[in-house]
Amino acid sequence: MKFVDIIRTAIANSFRSKLRTGLTVIAIFIGAFTLTITSGIGTGVTSYINSQVSAIGAADVLTVTKADDGATAGDGPAPYDPEKATAISLGNGSRPGSTIQALTDDDLDTIEATSGILGVDPSVQVTPDYIVYDVSGKFELTVNAAATLTTADLASGEQLDNESATDQILLPTTYLDPLGFSTPESAIGQTVTIGIADFAGTQQQVPATIVGVQNETILGAGAGLNQPLTDRLRAVELSGTPAEAPQSYATATARFDLDASDEEITAIKADLADQGYASQTVADQIGSFETVINVIIGVLNAFAVIALIAAGFGIINTLLMSVQERTREIGLMKAMGMNGGRVYALFSTEAVFIGFLGSALGALVAVAVGSVVSNILATTVFENLPGLQVVQFAPSSIAVIIGIVMLIAFLAGTLPARAAARQNPIDALRYE
């Protein structure tokens, strides 16, 4: 029997008992549908995260903090050490009220002396009071301390430039309306005024130029400031500070060689850890976020695979029944010179076809439903996260899913197909 005839015959056979095939197809459909949706969510969320941070400029930067010295609540308070800097509250992005041990200038020197570290800058967290443009009225201003570490997902304008002589600010899209800008483009190049209090509590005003408008991001909301603007605001905050007050910082950014290999980066981090500092690359920070999402998707996928395995037994059952039903037909074909291998191929093809039918339908419906739901969510729940399509479908992963389901179907079909191939024509043709 020719290959095409085997395929045609197998397809025709699977449609012979429509109800049975239909039920098996539904079982596979459910598994394939779930798998396609979960993989779609995976693709959607990952691609959103990537669009947020893919163009990470600062691949050569470690965020360094003082490592937790292990004094947990259960152990009681750690003994007082006058040499140690006091705890400092972390800025936005951290658990409210959480504190870490602050870094001192001595710490910065130690970090800089670590081999592989090219330079270190304390991360300065400034807390301006308000922002105002023209006659817009004053609005609270949240600063995203990580802004210069990542490349922003721009709606308009340019990235922040730390080397620039001008004081630059990067505004999130959510600030446009309150400040009175109708479009992102109209904000570029305009000068806003930032109000900030000095040490004595007196408010002072600092002008800044809008260089870019950024889509709302999941990695810390707020406006980005370039280094000169941060420095200027910091200077205002510190003006009037008693000279002997020690400087302390929550975190520091340490730069290493951009060409450093993963092993070298690991070595630097280990070296810092030995000296009592915790350090993370930007990739580490994003990685831990992605890990959580991957775990969730993994769990969902596991359920889908369980559904598919159950469907596999459905295939075994369906085919065993049709082998039994078609005993005589198989016997007749063998009596007419069809070899066992072809009989095997015929039944396996039928299994694979049923698998294909279920998975293709499942994937197709999943794409349709997923796209509609995703579009609705994008304009409602996720309105504030422009560009987030929760469910996105990659043709390659859909092909992989259909392929996997067909493989499962094939494996499920081996048992019935073998039973069919081994059938003796005489036993099959007995008519008593």
Partner 1 sequence: MTVPVLSAQNIGKSYGSGANRFDALKGVSVDIRAGESVAIVGKSGSGKSTLMHLLALLDDPDSGALLVEGTDAKKLKGKEVNRLRNQDFGFVFQQFFLTANASVLENVVLPLKIAGVDPKERKARGMEALEQLELADKAKSKAMNLSGGQKQRAVIARALVNNPKVIFADEPTGNLDTATGAVVEDILFSLNKDKGITLIIVTHDIDLAARCDRQIFIRDGLEDVTRSPEAIAKPAGAHS
Binding mask 13-52 for partner 1 (x = CB under 8 A): ---x------------------------------------
Of 5, 105, 106, 109, which one interacts with partner 1 (CB under 8 A)? 5
Should residue 418 be labelled a site residue for partner 1 when binding is judged by CB under 8 A?
no
Taking CA 363 as the corner, what is the angle to CA 359 and CA 369, rounded to the nearest 5 degrees? 145
- In degrees and rounded to multiples of 5, residue 152 shows phi and psi of -75, 150
User: Within positions 340 to 359, which residues make up the interface with partner 1, using CB under 8 A?
Assistant: 342
Return the number of other C-beta atoms located less than 10 Å from residue 34's C-beta. Answer: 20
Alpha-carbon distance of 322 to 317, in angstroms, equals 9
Q: Is 136 strand, coil or helix?
A: coil
Alpha-carbon distance of 187 to 155, in angstroms, equals 11
The distance of Cα 412 from the centroid of its chain, to the nearest Å, equals 34
Toward partner 1, which CB reaches closer, 76 or 337?
Answer: 337
Q: Is 20 strand, coil or helix?
A: helix
Of 154, 300, 338, 415, which one interacts with partner 1 (CB under 8 A)? 338
Should residue 329 be labelled a site residue for partner 1 when binding is judged by CB under 8 A?
yes
| Sole window of 18-26, 235-243, 331-339, 370-378 interacting with partner 1 (rule: CB under 8 A) | 331-339
Should residue 324 be labelled a site residue for partner 1 when binding is judged by CB under 8 A?
no
Residue 88 in tokens: 């400092």
Query: Taking the complex as a whole, how short is the minimal distance between the CB of residue 2 and partner 1, in angstroms?
Result: 5
Should residue 333 be labelled a site residue for partner 1 when binding is judged by CB under 8 A?
yes
H or E stretch covering 279: strand 277-281
| Sole window of 49-57, 327-335, 347-355, 407-415 interacting with partner 1 (rule: CB under 8 A) | 327-335
Query: Taking the complex as a whole, how short is the minimal distance between the CB of residue 15 and partner 1, in angstroms?
Result: 10
Residue 185 in tokens: 């483009």
| Sole window of 36-44, 156-164, 389-397, 423-431 interacting with partner 1 (rule: CB under 8 A) | 423-431
Residue 271 exposure: Cα atoms within 13 Å on the Cβ side: 15
User: Within positions 179 to 238, which residues make up the interface with partner 1, using CB under 8 A?
Assistant: none
Answer for the pair 108, 255: CB distance below 8 angstroms, yes or no: no
Query: Taking the complex as a whole, how short is the minimal distance between the CB of residue 368 and partner 1, in angstroms?
Result: 34
Toward partner 1, which CB reaches closer, 338 or 361?
Answer: 338
Closest CA to 175 of 159, 160, 186: 186
Toward partner 1, which CB reaches closer, 158 or 325?
Answer: 325
Should residue 332 be labelled a site residue for partner 1 when binding is judged by CB under 8 A?
yes
Site of tokens 């997923």: 370
Should residue 11 be labelled a site residue for partner 1 when binding is judged by CB under 8 A?
no
Burial of 183 (0-12, 13-18, 19+ CB in 10 A): exposed
Of 2, 82, 115, 379, which one interacts with partner 1 (CB under 8 A)? 2
Number of residues that bind partner 1 (CB under 8 A): 21
Of 259, 336, 395, 396, which one interacts with partner 1 (CB under 8 A)? 336
Query: Taking the complex as a whole, how short is the minimal distance between the CB of residue 13 and partner 1, in angstroms?
Result: 10
Of 70, 74, 337, 395, which one interacts with partner 1 (CB under 8 A)? 337
Alpha-carbon distance of 365 to 179, in angstroms, equals 44
Residue 160 exposure: Cα atoms within 13 Å on the Cβ side: 29
Answer for the pair 236, 90: CB distance below 8 angstroms, yes or no: no
Task: Tell me 124's DSSP state.
Answer: P
Of 86, 89, 166, 339, which one interacts with partner 1 (CB under 8 A)? 339
Residue 359 in tokens: 């998975």
Should residue 138 be labelled a site residue for partner 1 when binding is judged by CB under 8 A?
no
Of 234, 255, 328, 418, which one interacts with partner 1 (CB under 8 A)? 328
Taking CA 128 as the corner, what is the angle to CA 123 and CA 130, rounded to the nearest 5 degrees? 150
| Sole window of 279-287, 308-316, 330-338, 408-416 interacting with partner 1 (rule: CB under 8 A) | 330-338
Toward partner 1, which CB reaches closer, 5 or 177?
Answer: 5
Answer for the pair 154, 213: CB distance below 8 angstroms, yes or no: yes
List residues near partner 1 by CB under 8 A.
1-2, 5, 9, 16, 328-329, 332-333, 335-339, 342, 424-426, 429, 431-432
